[in-house]
Amino acid sequence: MKKIAFYVITVMMLLSITTIPVSASHEMSTVSLIGNEKSESVEAKAMMSRLEEIKAMDKSNMTSKEKRELRKEVRSIKKSMTELNGGVYLSVGAIIIIVLLLILLL
């Protein structure tokens, strides 16, 4: 049993150290990234300006139906903003499981 665990750990360490060769040119990747950032920033600016317009509105003389539609619009804008930003989110449970696996393997 000890030998199997040793072999598994050795294989995992060797696989984590190996590198992957990249054959794409550096210039193409920078051009594509710059193009994506500009399009996202234009969309983000438009959404932020719409949110500011909604905040500046006088809602005291609006009906409840109109207010509800504004709330739905704000929620959808915020949701699309988080999708534009991207990122990796880890829950507390996932972090605990990762830490436990690392402790058990090492």
User: What global pTM score does this model have?
Assistant: 0.45
Domain boundaries, the chain: 40-106
CA atoms in the 13 A half-sphere facing the CB of 23: 0
Q: What would the pLDDT profile of 7-57 be if each residue is shown by its tens digit?
A: 888 887 777 765 565 555 444 444 444 445 555 578 888 888 999 999 998
Distance CA 15, CA 10 (A): 9
Q: What would the pLDDT profile of 75-103 be if each residue is shown by its tens digit?
A: 999 888 877 776 666 778 888 888 888 88
